[in-house]
Amino acid sequence: MTKKEQTFEAALERLEQIVAQLESGDVPLEEAMTLYEEGVRLSALCQTKLSAAEKKMDEILELDGTLREKGGSA
């Protein structure tokens, strides 16, 4: 990989900036489309990172033996 992967926090911060720009209504159409495309990409990246973190947490809990069966009671 030649480019360092963006962190969740950096991607979320940039996504928030894009949303603010688009919501301002002061962005020309072509720039808005470019920003929207970047926002969709960042949103997908954030979702992927969140899913990976959730999976990792599940694995940690399973190793610790504290994960309860889904749908079961204590």
* Domains of the chain (ranges, CATH numbers): 8-62 (1.10.287)
The whole-number average pLDDT for the span 16-36 is 96
For residue 57, with 0-12 CB atoms within 10 Å meaning exposed, 13-18 middle and 19 or more buried, which class applies?
Answer: exposed
> What's the one-letter identity of residue 63?
L
Say what the alpha-carbon torsion angle 15, 17, 18, 22 is, to the nearest 10 degrees: 140
Q: Average pLDDT of 29-57?
A: 96
* Nearest-angstrom CA–CA distance, 6 and 19: 18
> Mean pLDDT over residues 54-62, rounded?
87
Phi-psi group of 30: left, alpha or beta (phi > 0 → left; psi -120 to 50 → alpha; rest → beta): alpha
